[in-house]
Amino acid sequence: MAACGNPAALKPIFSSELIDNRVASSFKSGGNLHFWQSVSSQNLKISTTNHSFSTRSGSISTKAFFWNIFKTKPDSSRSTKVQELYVYEINERDRGSPAYLKLSKKEVNSLGDLVPFSNKLYSGDLNKRLGITAGLCVLIQHVDEKKGDRYEAIYSFYFGDYGHISVQGPYLTYEDTFLAVTGGSGVFEGVYGKVKLQQIVFPFKLFYTFYLQGIKDLPTELVVKPVTPTPAVEPSAAAKAAEPGATVSNFTN
Amino acid sequence: MATSSASAIFRSSSVKPPVTSVAAATSLAQKLLSFKQTSPLISQSLKLSSSSSSAASSFTRRSFSCKSQSDPSTDSRSSKIQELHVYEINERDRGSPAYLRLSQKTVNTLGDLVPFSNKVYTGDLQKRAGITAGICVLIKNEPEKKGDRYEAIYSFYFGDYGHIAVQGPYLTYEDTYLAVTGGSGIFEGVYGQVKLQQIIFPFKLFYTFYLKGIPDLPTELLGKPVAPSTTVEPTAAAKACEPGATLSNFTD
């Protein structure tokens, strides 16, 4: 989240190495094979295990046939297929965010400080405004050697009528992290997985790669070829202005 | 990942495969399935043979009843959706909510935090179940809607049964869906979403959980819910937490 840290110490973080890793990882994670398709192509339809068959042993003929029609109901089992989703979180400084609450009352960032935040969310190709992020960073410790801080972040990504994704995990101002995807609503109902957080310009621009499992195929509107993260990336003017056609339906604001 | 997908195939929902007639079955080629079974009945007494349809004619009309013998708690996650209804009621006796105006502004602003804890009753309002407990992070005041957007992170406690953790949007001016992030006790491994409906802001809320991944809920929690209206109240016995009108060791 483009939130945490001392606003007075703005340090853009450039890392072409990070960008290369992201591109590389997006080819490696390919995720699961479409196992359902490969299985069903062999006409194997399987549902639950451990069936008890009540047969009277005396009446089983020597040719004992085992009939069982297993029907899969793809929509009732939890898909393990990994789907990647790319978004940009951008702090345009017009939402009063972040709200750094120095409750520790110490000079240096200390346990006790809380940082509620909310920024704008754009699609990975930066052509559409999706919604917002919203949540809280809990400062855990200041890390001197890295000249940064460790936060525990608990927040959600809102995608308008599509629903939301909730996440929880580490936010380090000095390096990329993976957070846990804890759940979602709408098209993301039942989701699990992880999300990679990459800071492009600390703390204003972040790029996320979600690795989502447990949900149906994402709507095509959300599946876009992402713009490669660089410090100069900006949303399209239409997306920034939230013009019709440059937003998702009822984008969260 | 492929192996985990394979096992995912085999452990699927609690759907019971339908019994088929022989005629329907003959149209399916017989495939030998080898799969891990924990039921000794299957592994020992099953004789599989594949042959052409001529064999099928000798197959008398025998129906197999197939029922899932698996213990859902050891199975992998069931995708069956179970609905659970509860009422959350603020009886103003828990010091809740604690509105921390940390933004130090007169209008609700990002920076304000609202820890809270209210009482939870079963959907039929017959039993005190426990409490809610958590925090609302104010995100934005919405003047046109005359309300606020919060990010809510909290849990529902059900006494000895365990708890359900949720995270998501709380809008004071409309109903929302939150994510069910997990649980403990009988709710261990739960996933899904929950619908939040405000009956009387901010004192009475009605929740409909759509829970997956857990064994069948106890009937005690599945009473027919009272339809939400502004006048609904828990029974006097539930309010007074009389024996028989609470869950076992209801959270307080």
User: Which of A34, A42, A67, A103 to probe by mutation at the B interface, max B CB count within 10 Å?
Assistant: A67
Task: Return the H-helix or E-strand segment holding A19.
Answer: helix A16-28
User: Which of A50, A93, A95, A162 to probe by mutation at the B interface, max B CB count within 10 Å?
Assistant: A50
Strands B163-171 and B128-142, by their bridges, are: unpaired
Question: By 3-state DSSP, what share of chain A in percent is helix, strand and coil, each rounded to 5?
Answer: 15, 35, 50
Give the angle subtended at the CA of B169 by the CAs of A99 and B101, to the nearest 5°: 35
Of chain B, the end-to-end C-alpha distance in Å amounts to 44
| 3-class secondary-structure state, position B154 | strand
- Which value, in Å, is the radius of gyration of the alpha carbons in chain A? 23
CA distances for B199 relative to A78, A252, B135, B180, angstroms: 33, 24, 20, 21
**Tokens describing residue B132:** 């809610």
Question: Are the beta carbons of B218 and B193 closer than 8 angstroms?
Answer: no
Is the pLDDT higher at B57 or at B147? B147
Cis before residue B40, ω within 30 degrees of 0? no
Distance CA A143, CA A138 (A): 14
Distance CA A21, CA A24 (A): 5
Q: So what's the pLDDT on residue A79?
A: 86
Of chain A, the end-to-end C-alpha distance in Å amounts to 16
User: Do A183 and B191 count as a contact with CB atoms less than 8 A apart?
Assistant: yes
Distance from CA of B191 to the nearest CA of A (A): 6
Distance CA A46, CA A43 (A): 9
Neighbours of B75 (CB within 10 A): 19
| pLDDT winner (highest mean) among A48-57, A110-119, B14-23 | A110-119
Q: So what's the pLDDT on residue B44?
A: 43
Give the closest of B5, B102, B177 to A32, CB-based. B5
For residue A112, the one-letter residue type is: G
Torsion (CA) B218, B220, B223, B228 in degrees, nearest 10: -110
Distance CA A203, CA A7 (A): 8
Residues contacting residue B166 through CB under 8 Å, at least 6 positions apart: A183, B152, B153, B154, B155, B156, B178, B179, B180, B181, B194
Q: Which chain B residue has the Cα nearest residue A47? A: B12
Which residues of chain A are within 8 Å of residue B99 when distances are taken between CB atoms?
none
Strands, E assignment, chain A:
51-53, 83-90, 114-117, 120-123, 129-143, 148-158, 164-172, 177-184, 192-201, 205-213
pTM: predicted TM-score of the whole model, two decimal places = 0.73
User: Which of A56, A65, A132 to probe by mutation at the B interface, max B CB count within 10 Å?
Assistant: A65
> What pLDDT, in 10s, does the model give residues A43-81?
434 344 444 444 444 444 555 455 545 544 444 578 899
User: Do B17 and A71 count as a contact with CB atoms less than 8 A apart?
Assistant: yes
* Nearest partner of A136 among A172, A187, A101, judged by Cα: A101
Average pLDDT, chain A: 81
> What pLDDT, in 10s, does the model give residues B162-220?
999 999 999 999 999 999 999 999 999 999 999 999 999 999 999 999 999 999 999 99
Distance from CA of B27 to the nearest CA of A (A): 11
User: Do A214 and B48 count as a contact with CB atoms less than 8 A apart?
Assistant: no
User: Do B58 and A135 count as a contact with CB atoms less than 8 A apart?
Assistant: no
pLDDT band with cut points at 50, 70 and 90 for residue A99: very high
Give the closest of A55, A69, A185 to B193, CB-based. A185
Q: Whose structure tokens read 């929950």? A: B194
* Nearest partner of A151 among A122, A132, A171, judged by Cα: A171
Q: Which value does ipTM take for this structure?
A: 0.73
User: Do B41 and A53 count as a contact with CB atoms less than 8 A apart?
Assistant: yes
Q: Whose structure tokens read 């995270």? A: B167
Neighbours of B22 (CB within 10 A): 15
Task: Return the H-helix or E-strand segment holding A165.
Answer: strand A164-172
Q: Is the pLDDT of residue A170 over 50?
A: yes
Give the closest of B47, B69, B109 to A50, CB-based. B69
> What pLDDT, in 10s, does the model give residues B95-141?
999 999 999 999 999 999 999 999 999 999 999 999 999 999 999 99
DSSP state of B30: P
CA distances for B150 relative to A62, A249, B12, angstroms: 68, 21, 36
For residue A25, the one-letter residue type is: S
Distance CA A132, CA A249 (A): 13
Alpha helices (H) along A29-88: 35-40
Question: Are the beta carbons of B79 and B214 closer than 8 angstroms?
Answer: no
Residue B28 forms beta bridges with which residues? Answer: none
User: Do B167 and A185 count as a contact with CB atoms less than 8 A apart?
Assistant: no
Q: What is the mean pLDDT of residues B40-57?
A: 42
Give the closest of A95, A156, A191 to B167, CB-based. A156
Q: Which chain B residue has the Cα nearest residue A63? A: B49
Burial label, A241 (beta-carbon count in 10 A; 0-12, 13-18, 19+)? exposed
Distance CA B131, CA B126 (A): 15
Residue A117 forms beta bridges with which residues? Answer: A135
Q: Is the pLDDT of residue A237 over 70?
A: yes
For residue A154, the one-letter residue type is: I
Is the pLDDT higher at B203 or at B59? B203
**Tokens describing residue B111:** 């920076």
Distance CA A227, CA A219 (A): 19
User: Do B79 and A76 count as a contact with CB atoms less than 8 A apart?
Assistant: yes
**Tokens describing residue A120:** 């704008």
